[in-house]
C-alpha cells in the first residue's frame, strides 16, 4: 500500500507496508534478462543493431572463462568493464590460487577500489601476527546448510546458531566469557577488553592454517562485547564456507557476511531468550541497555534483533540511530 500526493509527483513516496520478498538465484534472474533481450531483438530487428552487437559481445565474454572471471573481479572491486587497473585484477587472480575463489571475492567486495589488494596484504600480515587463534569445534561438521535462494542467509544463520548451541549443550540465556572460551577453545583473556587497540585495518579476517583446524584472527575491536561478536562471526564463517582458507569479516552486503552477522547475533543473544528477558512489546532505552549488559553484547545488536523480528519497526530504529 502506498500513499502519494496526486497533485505533486515530485513529493516523496512513503511505503506503509512491508513488501513480500521472493528470493531467486542469480542464474534465474540472468536467464530472465536474457530472454527479455532476445525478445526485444526479435521484435525490433535491424532497428536495434547496436543492442544486438553488444549482446553478442556479452555472450562471447561469458563463454570465455578467463574473461568472465576478469569481469566478475572488476565488478566486485567496484569498477566498470575495462576500468579496473590491470595489475590490481591480476594480483587478485594470483591470490585466488592461494586462498580460493570465494574468500578472495569476499575480500574484493570488502574493500573496493585501487587500494584493495594493499589493504588485504596488511590484513593478512595482521592475521599472521595475531595471538588470537580459534580452533574449530568438531561438532561444526554436523551442521549442514541448504544454500538455496528459498532460504535467506539470516534464516540459515538462526537455524545454525540454535543447532550449534544444542550440540554444544549451551543452556538458554547469555554465554559468559569462561563458557565461550571453552566453545572457541581460546584463552579467556582474549575475550576481555584489551589494554591496547588492535592494528587499524578496514575489516577483520579469519586465516586458516595449513592443517585446517586452527585459524588466526585479525580482530578490529579492543572492546569485549565487539570481540565476542567478531569471534562468533568467524565461527559462523567456518560453517558457511566449509572452513575456507580465507574468511573476511566485513560490512559488505553479501550473503556470506549477512550469515556471519546473523549467526553471531543468534548465538550470543537468542531471540527467544531475549524476549523472555524483555517481554514488553515496546522496549525502552533502559530495557535495551539492561539486555545488552545481561547478554554481554552491544546495544545495537539488541536493537537490530528487535528490528529483524518486528518488535521495533525500522523507522523507530533509524530514529534511535540518529539520536545516538
Q: Write the pLDDT tens digit of every residue in 44-75.
A: 766 677 877 887 878 877 888 889 999 999 99
Q: Are residues 283 and 194 in the same domain?
A: no
56 within a domain of the structure (yes/no): no
179 within a domain of the structure (yes/no): yes
Closest by CA to 128, choosing from 228, 199, 196, 181, is 199
Q: Are residues 294 and 169 in the same domain?
A: no
DSSP 33-73: HHHHHHHHHHHHGGGGHHHHHHHHHHHHHHH-HHHHHHHHH
Q: Are residues 175 and 259 in the same domain?
A: yes
Task: Tell me which of 50 and 240 has the higher pLDDT.
Answer: 240
Q: Are residues 149 and 262 in the same domain?
A: yes
116 within a domain of the structure (yes/no): no
Does the pLDDT at position 104 exceed 90? yes
Q: How far from each other are the two terminal CA atoms of the chain, in whole angstroms?
A: 31
Confidence of residue 167 (pLDDT cuts 50, 70, 90): very high
Q: Are residues 213 and 278 in the same domain?
A: no
Q: Are residues 259 and 289 in the same domain?
A: no
| The pLDDT value given to residue 31 | 83
Express each pLDDT in 114-139 by its tens digit.
999 999 999 999 999 999 999 888 89
146 within a domain of the structure (yes/no): yes
What is the count of structural domains for the chain?
A: 2
Q: Are residues 144 and 176 in the same domain?
A: yes
Q: Are residues 144 and 256 in the same domain?
A: yes
Domain range enclosing 319: 272-323
Does the pLDDT at position 9 exceed 70? no
197 within a domain of the structure (yes/no): yes
Express the helix, strand and coil content of the chain in percent, nearest 5 each.
60, 5, 35
207 within a domain of the structure (yes/no): yes
Q: Are residues 313 and 206 in the same domain?
A: no
Confidence of residue 6 (pLDDT cuts 50, 70, 90): very low
Q: Are residues 214 and 303 in the same domain?
A: no
pTM of the model: 0.85
Q: Are residues 189 and 281 in the same domain?
A: no
Q: Are residues 223 and 316 in the same domain?
A: no
Amino acid at each position: 500500500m502506498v500513499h502519494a500526493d496526486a497533485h505533486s509527483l515530485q513529493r516523496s513516496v512513503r511505503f506503509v507496508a512491508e513488501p513480500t520478498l521472493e528470493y531467486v538465484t542469480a542464474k534465474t534472474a540472468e536467464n530472465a534478462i536474457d530472454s527479455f533481450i532476445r525478445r526485444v531483438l526479435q521484435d525490433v530487428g535491424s532497428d536495434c543493431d547496436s543492442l544486438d552487437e553488444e549482446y553478442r559481445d556479452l555472450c562471447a565474454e561469458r563463454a570465455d572463462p578467463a574473461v568472465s572471471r576478469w569481469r566478475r573481479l572488476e565488478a566486485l572491486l567496484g569498477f566498470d568493464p575495462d576500468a579496473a587497473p590491470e595489475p590490481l585484477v591480476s594480483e587478485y587472480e594470483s591470490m585466488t590460487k592461494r586462498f580460493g575463489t570465494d574468500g578472495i571475492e569476499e575480500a574484493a567486495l570488502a574493500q573496493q577500489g585501487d587500494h584493495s589488494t594493499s589493504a588485504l596484504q596488511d590484513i593478512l600480515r595482521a592475521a599472521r601476527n595475531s595471538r588470537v587463534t580459534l580452533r574449530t569445534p568438531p561438532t561444526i561438521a554436523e551442521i549442514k546448510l541448504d544454500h538455496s535462494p528459498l532460504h535467506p542467509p539470516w534464516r540459515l544463520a538462526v537455524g545454525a546458531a540454535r543447532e550449534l548451541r544444542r550440540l554444544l549443550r549451551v543452556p538458554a540465556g547469555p554465554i559468559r566469557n569462561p563458557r565461550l572460551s571453552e566453545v572457541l577453545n581460546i584463552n579467556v583473556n582474549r575475550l576481555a577488553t584489551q589494554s591496547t587497540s588492535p592494528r587499524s585495518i578496514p575489516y577483520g579476517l579469519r586465516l586458516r592454517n595449513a592443517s585446517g583446524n586452527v585459524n588466526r584472527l585479525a580482530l578490529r575491536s579492543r572492546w569485549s562485547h565487539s570481540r565476542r561478536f567478531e569471534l562468533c562471526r568467524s565461527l559462523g564463517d567456518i560453517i558457511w564456507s566449509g572452513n575456507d582458507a580465507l574468511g573476511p569479516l566485513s560490512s559488505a552486503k553479501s550473503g556470506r557476511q549477512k550469515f556471519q552477522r546473523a549467526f553471531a547475533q543468534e548465538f550470543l543473544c537468542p531471540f527467544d531468550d531475549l524476549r523472555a528477558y524483555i517481554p514488553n512489546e515496546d522496549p525502552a532505552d533502559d530495557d535495551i541497555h539492561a539486555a545488552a549488559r545481561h547478554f554481554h553484547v552491544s546495544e545495537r545488536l539488541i536493537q537490530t534483533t528487535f528490528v529483524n523480528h518486528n518488535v521495533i519497526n525500522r523507522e523507530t530504529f533509524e530514529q534511535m540511530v540518529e539520536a545516538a
